[in-house]
């Protein structure tokens, strides 16, 4: 099963500093057909104006992954962690027993990012935050950025308290890459930029692509692309 979710069909929220699109029900956006995808609960496509952002607010028992597409986001939390995550890099926050954090765009340009929430398998863990640079070049295939899958235990991926993985790849036009989706797993992917075909089906920039019971996923870049893929239990 492949379900293409056009960018124009996503939920939307906009005010004077935030322009957000929601792949799944979030905030005031509710769609009974888009209430998450397996353990993947939230995928927000956010544009944050310079000098603004999300003030301090609480979370608990959620794995929150932020992939920065443009600019940078500066994180500050109740544990004392402070750090900026820049374009192409990723941060993971384990909300666990509870954490308060703020996410601010302290840059002179808009920050664009994907924020992804995954339901954890382990509840009430010690909260934490980590960020990491992940330089990527075309021709390298999908790279694991964050994972809680046993198979990825010895990789450089940021850890997750969930049987899930976040991967990314940069591709030149005409390049292809293949991903094997194991039984009982589902994947959701978005081309942050570019145009792609997934198992022969066209998806435009920032469209969502939901995959279930597709053991082999072949991605072809029609235009130069950067893709983020989340693999979760179905």
Domain containing 129: what range?
Answer: 2-233
We report the CATH number of the domain holding residue 158 as 2.60.120.10
Q: Can you give the three-state secondary structure of the chain, one letter per residue?
A: CEEEECHHHCEEEECCCEEEEECCCECCECCCCCCCECCEEEEEEEEECCCCEEEEEEECCCEEEEEEEECEEEEEECCCCEEEEECCCEEEEECCCCEEEEEECCCCCCEEEEEEEECCCCCCCCCEEEEECCCCCCCCCCEEEEECCHHHCCCCCEECCCCEEEEEEEECCCCEEEEECCCCEEEEEEEEEEEEEECCEEECCCCEEEEECCCEEEEEEEEEEEEEEEEEEC
pLDDT digits (tens, 9 = 90+) for 11-24: 999 999 999 999 99
pLDDT digits (tens, 9 = 90+) for 21-64: 999 999 999 999 999 999 999 999 999 999 999 999 999 999 99
pTM: 0.96
pLDDT digits (tens, 9 = 90+) for 140-179: 899 999 999 998 988 889 999 999 999 999 999 999 999 9
pLDDT digits (tens, 9 = 90+) for 196-229: 999 999 999 999 999 999 999 999 999 999 999 9
- Mean pLDDT for 75-96 is 97
Q: Structural domain tally of the chain?
A: 1
């Amino acid at each position: 099963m492949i379900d293409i979710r056009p960018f124009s069909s996503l939920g939307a929220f906009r005010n004077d500093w935030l322009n957000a699109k929601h792949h799944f029900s979030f905030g005031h956006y509710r769609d009974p057909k888009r209430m998450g995808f397996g353990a993947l609960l939230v995928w927000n496509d956010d544009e944050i104006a310079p000098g603004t952002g999300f003030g301090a607010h609480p979370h608990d028992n959620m794995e929150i992954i932020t992939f920065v597409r443009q600019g940078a986001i500066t994180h500050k939390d109740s544990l004392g962690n402070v750090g900026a995550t820049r374009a192409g890099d990723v941060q993971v926050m384990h909300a666990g027993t509870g954490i308060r954090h703020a996410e601010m765009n302290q840059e002179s340009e808009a920050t664009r990012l994907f924020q992804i929430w995954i339901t954890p398998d382990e509840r009430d863990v010690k909260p934490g935050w980590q960020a990491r640079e992940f330089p990527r070049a075309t021709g390298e295939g999908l790279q694991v950025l964050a994972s809680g899958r046993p198979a990825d235990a010895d990789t450089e991926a940021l850890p997750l308290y969930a049987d899930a993985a976040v991967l990314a790849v940069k591709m030149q036009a005409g390049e292809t890459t293949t991903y094997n989706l194991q039984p009982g797993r589902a994947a959701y992917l978005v081309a942050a930029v570019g145009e792609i075909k997934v198992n022969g089906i066209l998806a435009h920039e920032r469209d969502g692509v939901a995959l279930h019971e597709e053991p082999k996923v072949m991605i072809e870049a029609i235009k130069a692309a950067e893709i983020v893929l989340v693999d979760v239990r179905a």
